Amino acid sequence: MFKSARMTILASALLAATSMSAMAEVVYHRGNSADPETLDQHKTSTVYEAHILRDLYEGLVTYSAAGEIIPGVAESWSVSADGKTYTFKLRQDAKWSNGDPVVAGDFVFSLRRIMTPDTGAKYANILYPILNAEEVNKGTAKPEELGVKALDDHTLEITLKAATPYFVDLLGHQTGLPVHPATVQKHGTDFVKPENIVTNGAYVLKEFVPNAHIKAVKNPNFHDAENVKIDTVFFYPTEDRGAALRRFQAGELHSNDDVPTEQVEFIRKELGDQFKVAPYLGTYYFAVNMKDEALGKKEVRQALSMAIDREFLAEEIWGGTMVAGYSLVPPGINNYGEPAYASYKDMSQLDREQKAAELLKAAGYGPDKPLKLEIRYNTSENHKNTSVALADMWKPLGVEVTLLNTDTKTHYAHLRDKGDFDLARAGWIGDYSDPQNFLFLVESDNDGFNYANYENPAYDKLMDEAAATTDLEKRAALLKQAETIFMDDLPFIPLMYYASKNLVSPKLKGFETNLQDVHPTRFMSISE
């Protein structure tokens, strides 16, 4: 009897201890729109990947909960009088997840790696302001000639080819995140696997199950680990926004970074302030294949653009969570004035449609000779609904549209690898608040993001001149000229400016809306 009671007490104690242990682990279930195509920071290009990578790694600078650039591995930095040399002082307590110290040489290795042609970095050009970066990336200079030098283990010097007012902001992008040199040297491209990876951020990758989840756990060697409240974060690919909404309502997700737009009215009514809509530095557009016989004609591209009722798309298709857009560069961006809006921005929709019909007729198309187009879009009810709406708007002009849907990874890989298409849905979220970050997309040598295969020497010349101009006012004027050319040529058809649309549980604390829509897990906590 005594033995039985003692065993019962012991079992109860063990059960209580187990429950307390389970309760002690704080787990964040995070919807993330899509699976990453890669977790190699030097091959990444999407915000889906950025959300994960910023949890796993810390660059010289990082983002605060409010989306502002703050010190990361670099605790401070100084700039030379000519604006070309940056000296970063690295914190003494920065460590990799295996216990190795994070040193200046790690950033030298990493920056050389992303610029090395064999790496195949699609987004290396974001760091072209660094001296000799473009030459290294194009194979005309050696990696050792890159303007990056470790003065000692805790002092890094970066030299630019010209003063770049937004350079520190560039380093907040995922391409500026470091890799662990020894791990990359040992495992090559397999360094990203959970069993191999070594990170220096708040979290370490533990599992990557495609189409299911990514699991990351708290990194005890992170310099600010004592202030990281969430122990484990699961990232779920939520391409099906409707299913994600149901999971959020059921309490299976603490947050999701998008919503099905056809349910916005319901969401606002049922979820109240759990639905957070905020300005977002981005443009939603459709890329046009300039090499196509019909779409290669400017009149055709202008006609298609004119006939689009952007206000209808923003208000009805997207439930008022987007803003009608008539430029590539979104309004309100730093180091610029008013964007170069389309000439037909203030025309009535009826007048636009009439002009569009005239332009198509001049190009040889109309109801008696239909223009047949295929729209490619990545999986999302929102993108599908937008594509269907465009088909309806173009139908009176004699344009016949078919739709092709693929998952996000396949969609963007197809565009970056120069696969054939007519029109393709895409979007761009600013990595830093400067018009160059939008206008560089269609420079003729931007293989990674010039989906339209656009080539215009006058445009490239203006972009080169702007890059070499330190006077911000003169630089803005050059960029405005470039955007004016863009809006006349229309290699991309801008449709709307983004707003971020997040579902956030009241249990999730520390989530702050911001223009970059950046939300590092390390600054959040969960209360039950």
Residue 180 belongs to some domain of the structure: yes
CA distances from 283 to 135, 325, 365 (A): 30, 8, 29
Residue 423 belongs to some domain of the structure: yes
Claim to verify: residue 379 and residue 286 sit in the same structural domain: yes
Tokens of 427: 């979007």
Q: How far apart are CA 17 and CA 274, in angstroms?
A: 34
Tokens of 248: 């959020």
Residue 347 belongs to some domain of the structure: yes
Residue 261 belongs to some domain of the structure: no
What three-state secondary structure class fits 209?
strand
Claim to verify: residue 201 and residue 345 sit in the same structural domain: no
Residue 117 belongs to some domain of the structure: yes
Residue 190 belongs to some domain of the structure: yes
**The pLDDT of residue 298 is above 50:** yes
Claim to verify: residue 225 and residue 295 sit in the same structural domain: no
Mean pLDDT (whole number) for 200-214: 97
Residues 78-125: tens digit of each pLDDT: 999 999 999 999 999 999 999 999 999 999 999 999 999 999 998 899
What three-state secondary structure class fits 251?
coil
Largest CA distance in the chain: 99
Total of domains in the chain: 2
Residue 23 pLDDT: 55
Claim to verify: residue 316 and residue 456 sit in the same structural domain: yes
What three-state secondary structure class fits 323?
strand
User: pLDDT confidence of 431, banded at 50, 70, 90?
Assistant: confident
CB 112 within 8 A of CB 125: no
Q: How far apart are CA 437 and CA 370, in angstroms?
A: 37
Burial of 378 (0-12, 13-18, 19+ CB in 10 A): buried
Number of H helices, E strands in the chain: 16, 19
Claim to verify: residue 131 and residue 207 sit in the same structural domain: yes
115 lies in which domain range?
28-230+505-526
Claim to verify: residue 349 and residue 437 sit in the same structural domain: yes
Claim to verify: residue 223 and residue 325 sit in the same structural domain: no
What three-state secondary structure class fits 4?
helix
User: pLDDT confidence of 412, banded at 50, 70, 90?
Assistant: very high
Claim to verify: residue 350 and residue 375 sit in the same structural domain: yes
Q: Which amino acid is at 432?
A: Y
Q: State the average pLDDT for the chain.
A: 93
Tokens of 95: 């460590």
Q: Is the pTM of this model over 0.85?
A: no
**The pLDDT of residue 142 is above 60:** yes
CATH number at residue 221: 3.90.76.10
Claim to verify: residue 315 and residue 460 sit in the same structural domain: yes
Residue 258 belongs to some domain of the structure: no
Residues 374-388: tens digit of each pLDDT: 999 999 999 999 999
Tokens of 347: 């025309």
Better-scored residue on pLDDT, 8 or 273: 273
Mean pLDDT (whole number) for 469-492: 95
Long-range contacts of 456-464 (CB under 8 A, 24+ apart): 456/485, 456/489, 458/485, 459/485, 459/486, 459/489, 463/436, 463/439
Mean pLDDT (whole number) for 49-70: 97
**The pLDDT of residue 512 is above 60:** yes
Claim to verify: residue 420 and residue 518 sit in the same structural domain: no
CA distances from 14 to 2, 18, 100, 422, 502 (A): 18, 6, 37, 64, 40
Claim to verify: residue 517 and residue 474 sit in the same structural domain: no
**The pLDDT of residue 70 is above 50:** yes
Residue 365 belongs to some domain of the structure: yes
Q: How far apart are CA 222 and CA 228, in angstroms?
A: 9
User: pLDDT confidence of 4, banded at 50, 70, 90?
Assistant: very low
CATH number at residue 431: 3.10.105.10
Where in 275-389 does DSSP place strands (E)? 275-288, 323-324, 371-378
Mean pLDDT (whole number) for 28-44: 95
Alpha helices (runs of H) in 25-103, residue ranges in sequence order: 47-56
Better-scored residue on pLDDT, 23 or 461: 461
Claim to verify: residue 397 and residue 445 sit in the same structural domain: yes
Q: Using alpha carbons, select from 395, 396, 391 the residue that is nearest to residue 422.
A: 391
**The pLDDT of residue 18 is above 50:** no
Q: Using alpha carbons, select from 173, 36, 167, 155 the residue that is nearest to residue 92.
A: 155
